[in-house]
Amino acid sequence: MKATKTYLQELTALNAVSSKEDPVIQYMKMHFSEYSNEVTVDRIGNVICHFPSNKEDSKKVMIFGHMDEVGFMIRYIDEKGFIYIERIGGSNINVLPGSRVDIIGEKGTVIGLFGTKAYHFLKPEEKGTLPNQQSLYIDIGVKSKEEAEAMGVKVGCWACYHSDFIERENGWVTNKAMDNRVACTILLQLAEQLSTVSTPFNWDIYLVACVQEEFNIRGVLPAVRKINPDVSIGIDVTPACDTPDLNHYSDVVLDGGPALTFLNYHGKGTLAGVLPDEQLLQAFIQISEVNNVPYQREVAVGVITENAFIVFEEYGVAVANVSIPTRYTHTPIETISLHDLEQTVRLLFNFLTHLDESSHFGKNH
């Protein structure tokens, strides 16, 4: 049995951008298999862990979180060996100059540094400004393209932020890829707790570690179509707004407990967002209050999650999102509270174990 922090530290140390989730797939499959005899991996990498109800025609609930992280792909290597990139997902360009990355080359991991103009030679008009993505470059300590390629670094190789796990005494932890290895940790903790339940479940329970969220949001859909759930609950991060730059944007803070989504959508329009099933949302609120689980209320414009698409599968799915407050999202220093993580496990476990045959969500009464 692993502690929460151990799972999280090991998972965030793994390098796995969209479509390259293999190390996390192997990790999740191995640990899920400690708690369930029904663990499968589909063709694109979604890991499905099933806890059956052993009842005929039981309803199905799916809880999911994605395994991939934001990162970069090498687009071009110039004659001096400097590397230019495209983003895989929404890496925060503002923090890249002067930061370290791990390039996953054909011969192993290579250390890379995002270059930045020497301060002494900055022109007055350049101070306080940031380069655009096209001008960003990575320095791997070579003098030519040939040297870079000899190290196994070629166009099409990928990179991600360097792992540096930091723990504070108050239970806050920092690393790259908290988005969304925190959800993977929650899924494993749920699997462990569900495996100890001696009474039969009233619903079929599916825990899904899914792929390619950061790149196209839809990687979970093959798993959804296989399971055909009645209820889908997404676990992901949401920006904590308890720093000076986001003060007063929302009430979501570290140590405030899981955030229940009332609305999210991509900031460029409302064509892909989540408006949760009202009965499902109220069930989470009631469970939180009865079990003294602190919770927060989330309205997040600029956040998009898989349930935006899952809701319209088959005959419709009742959806809800449970979010982990996170500072500095899509940077190497994403920070969460272990307290919030543990309270989220409590909330979801109580929800799953209190489902009965009369539980109903959605509008089809």
Residue numbers belonging to the annotated binding site for Zn(2+):
66, 179, 214, 236, 330
C-alpha span between 42 and 222 (Å, rounded): 8
* Other beta carbons within 10 Å of 202: 19
Q: Find the DSSP H helices in the chain.
A: 4-13, 22-32, 145-150, 178-194, 213-216, 221-227, 278-290, 307-310, 338-353
| Residues annotated in a binding site | 66, 179, 214, 236, 330
Q: How many residues does the chain have?
A: 365
Chain centre to alpha carbon of residue 35: 22
Nearest to 264 by CA among 181, 328, 323: 323
C-alpha span between 140 and 113 (Å, rounded): 7
Sheet holding 172-175, edge to edge: 166-167, 172-175, 334-337
DSSP string, 76-138: EE-TTS-EEEEEES---GGG-TT-EEEEEETTEEEEEEE----GGG--GGGTT----GGG--E
C-alpha span between 99 and 101 (Å, rounded): 7
Q: Is 213 an annotated catalytic residue? A: yes
Q: Which residues pair with 138 in a beta bridge?
A: 83, 114
Q: Out of 69, 213, 298, 334, pick the active-site residue.
A: 213
Structure token pair of residue 263: 């609305």
* Other beta carbons within 10 Å of 122: 13
- Residues annotated as catalytic (active site), given as ranges: 213
